[in-house]
Structure 1
Amino acid sequence: MHILFLSDNFPPEVNAPASRTFEHCCEWVKAGHQVTVITCAPNFPKGEVFGGYRNRLWQAEEMSGIRVIRVWTYITANEGFLKRILDYISFMLSAFFAALFVRRVDIIVGTSPQFFTAVAAFMTSLLKRRPWIFELRDIWPESIRTVGAMRSSRVFDLLEKLELFLYRRADAIVAVTHAFRDNLIVRGIDGGKIFVVTNGVDTSRFAPREKDPELVAKLGLQGKFVAGYIGTHGMAHALETILDAAGKIRTETGGERFRFLFLGDGSNKATLVARAAEDGLDNVIFVDTVPKDEVVRYWSLLDASIIHLRRSPLFETVIPSKLFECMGMGIPVLHGVRGESAMIATREQVGLTFEPENADDLCRVLNFLVSEPEVLQKLRDNGPLAAVKYDRLVLAQNMRTIIQGVVSKARTP
């Protein structure tokens, strides 16, 4: 079986879509399938092309047995609605034309968060007369309106019509949460073609380890309780809440016991750095995005991981992928996201929940965790046990089964 996968994020980028796509494709190759990925020059989230790459019309390479075709796109930082739309549309067009030259394809998969990649997958399926799957990672464009990045109701209505059209025309939809599946069914999409394959973790990479001594010394973390946020610093994440908590903790304790570590980049990064400097938050440390192979070294520094999104009904339907990485590493989670992901954190007993955008509540759970070493250790121990249920290998096999089912159905007269 030849799987053609369209995704505008792929390694060496280190965000969740890139990691999920790469790890799934690796497992499909190991299972004997041919996989071609069409993506762009790596540039997320700064909008700067990574070293060793150029933004060309066409460039090809092989990664772990996967044929990777990189196409030209309009590259911009992950900020500004109009610029991002231009980025998305340029990839849609470039990916579609590149896909026409990929031969003997059995199925096409287009992944979100934004659905323009799915548009390219749909158009490719029409011309190649092959089935296609919409991998749904985000309810878009609703998520854009939720964070206030889009105000025009007319534009939103048009995008939503296109969104629903794609759901209806897809041969199958693979959603990353059960809440996404429920959302689509309520909106009239056939539940029989919607499957759920959650995000997960590569347990061979994300496993318990001692704090990296070199980084501890470099960042001055000796003897500190480190609470950290690792990931995109975007509008949806409302990371000002963590800065507010850092300020309160600093006032209460003099800033000696705790350190708050931020790793990553995004549209709000500069604002957060400026705010921390203005408020004199010397207990906050910012680190730019690091290569994929270095990420676990920084995860190891954390005594607790903070996961946070804005307080919104839409975000109650998402499951941040970093939750599973924390499980694998045995890092207790301070979980500021309501809904399905909070239920997972509670059910698996891997973390404590707090109210989104409530710095006082974050301080409460943080202080409780520090004051109860037995609870802290229990959460650490439960993480790797829970991670086994979300092993990326098993999830990749589940999605492969779905893909094979769609291909077999298409071949049946």
Structure 2
Amino acid sequence: MKILFVSQYYPPESNAPANRVSEMAKEWVRIGHEVTVLTTFPNHPEGKIYPGHKNGRPQVEERDGVRVVRVPVYIAANKGILRRSLAYLSFSISAAIFGTYRIERPDVVIATSPQLLVGVAGAWLSARFRRPFVLEIRDLWPDSIVAVGALREGHPALRMLRRIEHWLYRRADAVAVVTETFKEILQQRGVTPERIAFLPNGVDDELFHPRELPNDPTGENDPHPGKFVVTFAGTIGMAHGLKTVLEAAELLKDDPVVQFLVVGDGAERAQLEAKVAEMRLTNVQFKGRVPRSAVAGILRRTDASLVMLRPSPVFETVLPSKMFEAMGTATPILLGVDGEARRLLERADAGIHFPPGDARALVVAIQRLRNDRDETARLGKNGLAYTLANYERRRIAAGYEGLLREIASPTEQHTPTNVVVGGG
């Protein structure tokens, strides 16, 4: 089967959308499919083209057996609604134009959010090639734009985006969602249940499975010897509410043991670093963007993984991929997200929940883990066992592949059964 995946993000970018697309694509190649990813030149989140790439003519490369077609776009850092919108729109247009003659006719077309304009390019290419179309919803866009305050209800641009959203739901032969709550919301918005497939995020067992750390009697490989390290690893964006981390660090500034580590880059990093300097916090360190392969090693040396989002009903519908990465390395989670993420954490018994935005509650949770290392280890082991039983990426990819086979079959009417993978 020839699969076309349209995604604005792809490695060497290391955000959640890039990782999910890459891991699915590699697995499908492994089992014998031809996968092409239509994407742009890597630039997220700084808005700077990575070394070895140039934002010009379309470029074709191969990564892990996946054919990657990169097309030019307007480049913007991950901040500022106008510039980001132009970047999103330019990719949709560029992917539709260049994809028309740079892509061999596929058997099925997938377009993945979070930004929904990618779906427009996917729908166009699906019509152009006369092939079925799968719309993958990883974020409730444009709801999340409102949640971070980038647009207000009633704004003309928001009304236009909602019309595009509903058109794409009608146009897609199948809609793949990553949470059960998304599934419920889409049904309320008119998507029939038989066209919705639940295909959650998961963990790459080969990359994130906990491994024994090398013997290190001198402590040379441990950047924080004797510390209880709380790590946030991922995009430092508007949605994550990392101001709460600084407030917690302020409350713990006289504690010689607790150390906060923020790994990644994004729109809010410079502002947060300036605030750390202003507050004279010595217990917060920023590491910057690292390769995805390095994240697993960092988490293995971490005592607790911090997963948080700003307080908003929209974010109660999501399952952050950071949860699966933490559980995959047997790292207990400090979770500042309500809704579906909290329910998963409690089912897995893999960490401690605190109310989003509540720095004092975060401090209490940190102190609880710091003072009970047996409990810390137990929660980490629980998370590992649960995620391998329910959210192993290879099994999710197999379920996804079954959906694609079903709707790509020329003898079918492109009405998939309701695929459900994960979430035990």
Contact 1:203 1:387 in 2 (8 A): no
Q: Which amino acid aligns with 1:112?
A: S
1:229 match: 232
For residues 369-398 of structure 1, give each alpha carbon's deviation from its aligned partner in whole angstroms, at most 9, with x where no partner exists: 112222112112212211212111001111
Per the TM alignment, residue 216 of structure 1 is displaced from its structure 2 partner at its CA by 6.5
2:304 match: 304
Q: Which amino acid aligns with 1:25?
A: A
**Any gaps of 5 or more consecutive residues in structure 1?**
none
The alignment partner of 2:27 has SS state of: helix
Contact 1:307 1:323 in 2 (8 A): yes
Contact 2:222 2:301 in 1 (8 A): no
Per the TM alignment, residue 410 of structure 1 is displaced from its structure 2 partner at its CA by 6.5
2:419 match: none
1:7 match: 7
Distance change in 2, residues 1:109/1:49 (3 Å)? same
Q: How does 1:245-284 map to 2 (within 5 A)?
A: 245-250=248-253, 254-284=254-284
Is it true that 1:197 corresponds to 2:195 in the alignment? no
1:120 match: 121
For residues 249-300 of structure 1, give each alpha carbon's deviation from its aligned partner in whole angstroms, at most 9, with x where no partner exists: 11xxx23111000001111111110111111110000011012222222222
Per the TM alignment, residue 57 of structure 1 is displaced from its structure 2 partner at its CA by 2.2
Per the TM alignment, residue 191 of structure 1 is displaced from its structure 2 partner at its CA by 1.6
Distance change in 2, residues 1:368/1:412 (3 Å)? closer
Among all aligned residue pairs of Structure 1 and Structure 2, give the percentage whose two residues are the same amino acid: 41
Q: Which amino acid aligns with 2:131?
A: R
Q: Which amino acid aligns with 2:116?
A: F
Contact 1:38 1:98 in 2 (8 A): no
Distance change in 2, residues 1:155/1:216 (3 Å)? farther
Q: How does 1:6-405 map to 2 (within 5 A)?
A: 6-101=6-101, 102-151=103-152, 153-209=155-211, 217=220, 220-250=223-253, 254-388=254-388, 389-405=390-406
Per the TM alignment, residue 186 of structure 1 is displaced from its structure 2 partner at its CA by 1.1
Contact 1:215 1:298 in 2 (8 A): no
Q: In the aligned structure 2, how far is the partner of 1:61 from the partner of 1:356? A: 42
For residues 162-194 of structure 1, give each alpha carbon's deviation from its aligned partner in whole angstroms, at most 9, with x where no partner exists: 111101110000001111111111122212101
Runs (4+) of structure 1 exceeding 3 A deviation are 209-220, 409-413
Q: Which amino acid aligns with 2:208?
A: F
The alignment partner of 2:206 has SS state of: coil
Q: In the aligned structure 2, how far is the partner of 1:363 from the partner of 1:71? A: 46
Per the TM alignment, residue 98 of structure 1 is displaced from its structure 2 partner at its CA by 2.1
The alignment partner of 1:237 has SS state of: coil
TM-score when normalising by structure 2: 0.93
Contact 1:26 1:65 in 2 (8 A): yes
The alignment partner of 1:235 has SS state of: coil
Equivalences, count: 410
Per the TM alignment, residue 214 of structure 1 is displaced from its structure 2 partner at its CA by 11
**Any gaps of 5 or more consecutive residues in structure 2?**
415-424
Q: In the aligned structure 1, how far is the partner of 2:191 from the partner of 2:407? A: 17
